[in-house]
């Protein structure tokens, strides 16, 4: 699965200096606070992406020229140059007409699962001072992840326990956990739990562990969903009226079917506190 995300940080505004206390005078601008910085302090790229360009910007008011070397912070880098990546750009040159440049990287796909590796780049000394984002951490995501067959976006379909609210269709994502190769995070791309006029926030995420035989995801019951004190609640059967609540230490089971193209929750489940419950048979179909 191709992963390529760039998260752009905010640039600080350049300072203004007034040459006179007379409010009738026009302000004069100064480049004394110009700086060079990465546009983002972190970048994620998949092995299969092949290459990535990481933006670096010289922020000034009147336009300036400068060069800045690029180096690797060895003590923080776990990826190996020549094996996992190659740096195509060792120095950047800026001018009044070219204040945005990029560090170009080639990323190698080694066809072996090694987990996520990091490369930390640093801006060197220049005639212009460096901004806060003077380093950038590049996360190289391994596309041979053992759970890659279920990672991605799914369309979800379910019947609500509250007949007045009817049937629901929405999207979810299944993402890897950065530290546990058997753990996944399931989250919402659209408003998720709708019932009795309440709308849950989109940052509802819960986690589960994939079984050794890759046939099910075991979601710990009563885990917090990341919003206030609400927790997941599973039932022992598909109909909440005819089954009991699962207890602490139990799991809500998500069945993995059709090679990961379909996920099914056979039993009723939802969130305590808002009474957002779904009947069993909730289906997720991979897009």
The pLDDT value given to residue 202 = 46
The pLDDT value given to residue 17 = 39
The pLDDT value given to residue 209 = 97
The string of pLDDT tens digits covering residues 218-255 is 999 999 876 667 788 899 999 988 999 999 999 999 99
Percent of the chain topping pLDDT 70: 80
Strand partners, 67: 93
Measured between alpha carbons, how far is 87 from 72 in angstroms, rounded to an integer? 10
pLDDT tier, 65 (very low <50, low <70, confident <90, very high otherwise): very high
- Range with top average pLDDT, 25-29, 62-66, 109-113: 62-66
Among 76-85, 142-151, 184-193, 260-269, which is the least confidently predicted range?
A: 184-193
Local structure of 141: helix, strand or coil: strand
pLDDT at 16 over 50: no
The pLDDT value given to residue 128 = 94
Average pLDDT along the chain: 82
Contact (Cβ atoms closer than 8 angstroms) between residue 174 and residue 185: yes
Local structure of 49: helix, strand or coil: helix
Contact (Cβ atoms closer than 8 angstroms) between residue 8 and residue 54: no
Write the Ramachandran bin of 90: left for phi over 0, alpha for psi from -120 to 50, otherwise beta. alpha
The pLDDT value given to residue 14 = 36
**DSSP of 235-254, one letter per residue?**
BSSS-GGGSPBP-TT-EEEE
Measured between alpha carbons, how far is 215 from 205 in angstroms, rounded to an integer? 21
The pLDDT value given to residue 113 = 82
pLDDT at 9 over 70: no
Contact (Cβ atoms closer than 8 angstroms) between residue 164 and residue 193: no
Measured between alpha carbons, how far is 10 from 15 in angstroms, rounded to an integer? 15
The pLDDT value given to residue 47 = 87
The pLDDT value given to residue 18 = 37
The string of pLDDT tens digits covering residues 69-124 is 999 999 999 999 999 999 999 999 999 999 999 999 999 988 788 888 999 999 99
Across residues 46-55, what is the average pLDDT? 91
**What is each CA distance from 193 to 20, 36, 129, 205, 230, in whole angstroms?**
59, 45, 49, 12, 12
pLDDT tier, 19 (very low <50, low <70, confident <90, very high otherwise): very low
The string of pLDDT tens digits covering residues 150-175 is 999 999 888 887 655 577 788 888 98
């Amino acid at each position: 699965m191709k992963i390529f995300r760039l998260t752009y940080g905010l640039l600080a505004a350049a300072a203004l200096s007034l040459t006179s206390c007379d409010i009738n005078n026009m302000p004069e601008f100064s480049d004394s606070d110009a700086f060079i910085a990465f546009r983002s302090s972190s970048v994620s790229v998949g092995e299969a992406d092949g290459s990535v360009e990481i933006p670096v910007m010289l922020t000034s008011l009147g336009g300036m020229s400068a060069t800045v070397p690029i180096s690797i912070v060895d003590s923080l880098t776990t990826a190996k140059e020549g094996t996992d990546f190659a740096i195509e750009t060792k120095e950047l040159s800026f001018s009044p007409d070219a204040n945005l440049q990029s560090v170009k990287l080639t990323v190698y796909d080694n066809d072996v699962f090694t987990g996520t590796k990091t490369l930390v780049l640093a801006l060197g000394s220049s005639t212009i001072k460096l901004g806060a984002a003077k380093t950038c951490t590049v996360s190289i995501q391994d596309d041979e992840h053992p759970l890659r067959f279920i990672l991605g976006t799914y369309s979800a379909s379910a019947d609500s326990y509250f007949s007045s609210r009817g049937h629901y269709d929405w999207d979810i994502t299944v993402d890897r956990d950065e530290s546990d190769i058997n753990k996944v995070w399931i989250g919402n791309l659209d408003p998720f739990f709708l019932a009795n006029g309440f709308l849950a926030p989109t940052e509802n995420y819960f986690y589960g562990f994939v079984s050794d035989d890759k046939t099910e995801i075991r979601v710990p019951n009563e885990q917090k969903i990341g919003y206030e004190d609400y927790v997941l609640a599973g039932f022992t059967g598909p109909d909440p009226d005819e089954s009991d609540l699962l207890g602490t230490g139990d799991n809500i089971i998500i069945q993995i079917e059709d090679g990961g193209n379909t996920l099914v929750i056979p039993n009723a489940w939802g969130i305590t506190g808002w009474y957002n419950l779904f009947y069993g048979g909730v289906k997720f179909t991979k897009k």
